[in-house]
Amino acid sequence: MATDTAAKNNAEDQVDPDLLVVRSKSERRRLDRQKALPTWGESVEQTRARRTRLVKQLAVQAGFSRVGIAAAQALPDHQTTLQAWIDRGMHGEMAWMASEVGRRCDPGQVVAGAQSVVLLALDYDTGQPRTRDLDLQGQDRVWISRYAWGDDYHVVAERRLKRLEDAVTAALKQELGDSFRGPAGPVRPFAAVRDFRWYVDHGPLLERVWAQRAGLGWQGRHSLLVDPRRGSYFFLAAVVTSVALDPDEPMADHCGSCRACVDACPTGAILADRLVDARKCISHATIEVDGPVTPEIRALAGDHLFGCDLCQEACPFNRFSQPCGDPAFEPRPGLLAPTRPEVRAWAELGGDAHLAGSPLRRRGVDALAQLASQDAAEPIAR
């Protein structure tokens, strides 16, 4: 008898309390919709953790190598450093760096109510020879930075970001619904164009700063991001979102007393405090400077046609770099240390159309041919 009474009491304790409340039909429908959402029964922390796992999983499925997350917040110290670098003219011909300085250091000015910055790494090393592995001078060859051997990474990354955006929108649309509220905005429907905005280089973000805060690496003395297990041969993309996600731990600096990259730079472009003077940088001279190739640029470039990898190749952490296996970044025919006559012949092969889909098209065949001309300055001593 006692057992039957206990079972009855236990059954009554398990009755859904919602069934004991008298509700209108519309209220019951609203409650049913809420119970059908993944968020039903979750705490705020559980919801955020689940969404974080989801975004990371979808990022890898979209084709990115690694993903990290940082909390969106203003970075006034970095803004001060950036402005001082610009005021000294160290941004060279990159005029866009001098605009929107405040936005670059405050995601809240990029996305209203921003809560998270998602950083995505895309490996591009192919395992091909390094600059020092080839006798460029002896074979009358010029060097193209390894990141530019294959397809334009802007296009590759943007396609994968679009896949990520579509996947995240499809996965979260139901639970965010028409009543999504950022922390500083009115109730509104979730929309990727304003709540999940992504960039590859062209956006007002300091990707390397955010990537270090997201745990993807640290900024080496050459200012590039370094992963202790993979080196520095990877691109960065970023997403600023008003969706709350769990941040990762920032990466500690592991450069120590090493100055390999500083010593490897033949033009002395790498300065103290992780600063690079673009006006002395070979990559800046061969990529960012528009117009005709001046004698000064040719002398600075030496046997470099497009970009420079010397500071990265000197970094001891790039000993751990592994081929990414991504066909998009495998060298196109003729782009791995071409001869000077081969470069000059590109114009006869169809002009800029010959470089369709390549990062080199940004510079154009005429400028590349000038850099590869026979009267080029002596290669820079290393």
Please indicate whether residue 125 is annotated as part of the active site: no
CA 218 and chain centroid, separation: 13
Instruction: Yes or no: say if 86 and 98 are a contact pair by the CB < 8 Å rule.
Output: yes
Pairing of strands 218-219, 225-226: antiparallel
Rounded Cα gap, residues 351 and 217, in angstroms: 39
Rounded Cα gap, residues 333 and 349, in angstroms: 13
Residue 143: closest CA among 261, 289, 306: 306
Q: Is 227 helix (H, G, I), strand (E, B) or coil?
A: strand
Which of 18, 87, 201, 366 does the annotation list as catalytic?
Answer: 201
Q: Which two tokens stand for residue 225?
A: 């991001």
Instruction: Compute φ and ψ for 143, nearest 5 degrees.
Output: -100, 135
Instruction: Yes or no: say if 46 and 38 are a contact pair by the CB < 8 Å rule.
Output: no
Instruction: Compute φ and ψ for 103, nearest 5 degrees.
Output: -65, -35
Q: Which two tokens stand for residue 14?
A: 């398990």
With the CA atoms of 288, 204, 233 and 381 taken in that order, what torsion angle do they form, in degrees rounded to the nearest 10?
30
In the chain, which ranges are continuous DSSP H helix?
2-13, 25-35, 44-61, 76-87, 101-104, 153-176, 192-195, 207-213, 260-264, 282-283, 295-301, 310-314, 340-344, 365-371
Residue keyed to tokens 């236990």? 10
Rounded Cα gap, residues 161 and 197, in angstroms: 10
Instruction: Compute φ and ψ for 215, nearest 5 degrees.
Output: 85, 15
Rounded Cα gap, residues 189 and 146, in angstroms: 43
> Which residues are known to be catalytic?
201
